[in-house]
């Protein structure tokens, strides 16, 4: 039986790129696998954090090695792992000292675990059997009415609470007053807290509006 020749780029790839593969796998452990393919003999040369159950010496998957070296970075793309879970992958062409393609490093990231977390969060946020607010319980919920009006006002003007000027805050107080928002007990204090204003300033604006209407 003829002995298979050793790849001329094997030592270069292992010396230069295996530590990088180990670093990436360690940083994203346990979710990332890093595979180094030897393009000279098209075999798996190195595996860090093996998630795909491949072995060193296995044939490289054709979809991972039959790319133009001009691309250098291929992906991100997705593929299915042995356990049916989706992996998001990026492949980088590795070059020798002469600038010729020598290998390919594939970073395979297990995104299925995050999809499971998202599904759990979606279920938790949506809740089970969430119903509309009982009218008899929330009929006088002036805080929610203030919140609804305030954020509609901000969205219409493409503003955020953190970016409001003094003039913006005065306009909001006036707009809320016109909507009757200050009929609720402690509404002025609530608006002052939400807008980051002093209570005295809110009362001052309300007094000025009352005097102007008189």
Number of residues assigned to the chain? 214
Q: What is the pLDDT of residues 71-107, one digit of tens each?
A: 788 889 888 887 778 889 998 999 989 888 889 999 9
Q: Please indicate, yes or no, if residue 38 is contained in any of the structural domains.
A: yes
pLDDT at 121 over 70: yes
What CA dihedral angle connects 205, 207, 213 and 214, to 10 degrees?
A: -160
3-state secondary structure of 9: coil
153 with 106, same domain? no
Lowest mean pLDDT among 86-90, 122-126, 176-180, 181-185: 122-126
22 with 109, same domain? yes
Q: Please indicate, yes or no, if residue 30 is contained in any of the structural domains.
A: yes
pLDDT at 183 over 50: yes
pLDDT at 63 over 60: no
Q: Please indicate, yes or no, if residue 123 is contained in any of the structural domains.
A: no
91 with 163, same domain? no
Q: Please indicate, yes or no, if residue 146 is contained in any of the structural domains.
A: yes
Cα–Cα–Cα angle for 201, 202, 207, nearest 5°? 95
Q: Please indicate, yes or no, if residue 47 is contained in any of the structural domains.
A: yes
Mean pLDDT of 133-137: 45
Q: What is the pLDDT of residues 25-44, one digit of tens each?
A: 999 999 999 999 998 888 88
Q: Please indicate, yes or no, if residue 4 is contained in any of the structural domains.
A: no
Q: Please indicate, yes or no, if residue 5 is contained in any of the structural domains.
A: no
Which residue, among 8, 9, 23, 32, has the nearest Cα to 103 in the 3D structure?
9
Domain count, the chain: 2
103 with 67, same domain? yes
pLDDT for the residue numbered 64: 46
105 with 169, same domain? no
Which residues form the domain of 104?
A: 10-113
101 with 156, same domain? no
109 with 142, same domain? no
Q: Please indicate, yes or no, if residue 108 is contained in any of the structural domains.
A: yes
Please state, in angstroms and as integers, the Cα–Cα distance from residue 181 to each residue in 119, 136, 147, 149, 206, following that order: 38, 19, 10, 9, 11
User: Which of the listed residues 113, 146, 177 is the one where a domain comes to its end?
Assistant: 113
User: Which of the listed residues 64, 80, 113 is the one where a domain comes to its end?
Assistant: 113
Q: CATH number, domain at 44?
A: 3.30.450.20
Mean pLDDT of 113-117: 79
pLDDT for the residue numbered 7: 85
20 with 91, same domain? yes
pLDDT at 159 over 70: yes
36 with 106, same domain? yes
pLDDT at 62 over 60: no
66 with 102, same domain? yes
Q: What is the pLDDT of residues 164-177, one digit of tens each?
A: 898 998 998 898 88
96 with 149, same domain? no
156 with 86, same domain? no
pLDDT for the residue numbered 1: 43
Q: Give the residue ranges of DSSP H helices in 59-127.
A: 62-65, 112-126
């Amino acid at each position: 039986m003829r002995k298979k020749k050793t790849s001329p780029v094997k030592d270069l790839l292992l010396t230069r790129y295996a530590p990088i593969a180990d670093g990436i796998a360690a940083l994203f452990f346990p979710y990332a696998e890093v595979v180094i393919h030897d393009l000279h003999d098209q075999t798996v040369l190195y595996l860090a954090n093996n998630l795909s159950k491949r072995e060193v010496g296995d044939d490289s998957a054709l979809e991972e090695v039959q790319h133009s070296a001009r691309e250098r970075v291929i992906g991100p793309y997705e593929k299915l792992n042995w356990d049916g879970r989706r992996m998001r992958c990026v492949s980088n062409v590795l070059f020798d000292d002469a600038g010729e393609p020598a290998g390919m490093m594939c970073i395979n990231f297990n995104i299925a675990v995050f999809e499971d977390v998202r599904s759990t969060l979606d279920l938790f946020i949506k809740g089970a059997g969430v119903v509309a607010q009982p009218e008899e319980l929330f009929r006088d919920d002036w805080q929610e009415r203030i919140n609804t009006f305030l954020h509609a006002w901000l969205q219409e003007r493409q503003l955020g609470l953190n970016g409001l000027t003094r003039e913006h805050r005065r306009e909001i107080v006036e707009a809320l007053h016109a909507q009757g928002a200050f009929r609720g007990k402690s509404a002025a204090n609530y608006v002052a807290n939400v807008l980051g204003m002093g209570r005295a300033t809110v009362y001052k604006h309300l007094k000025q509006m009352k005097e102007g209407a008189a």
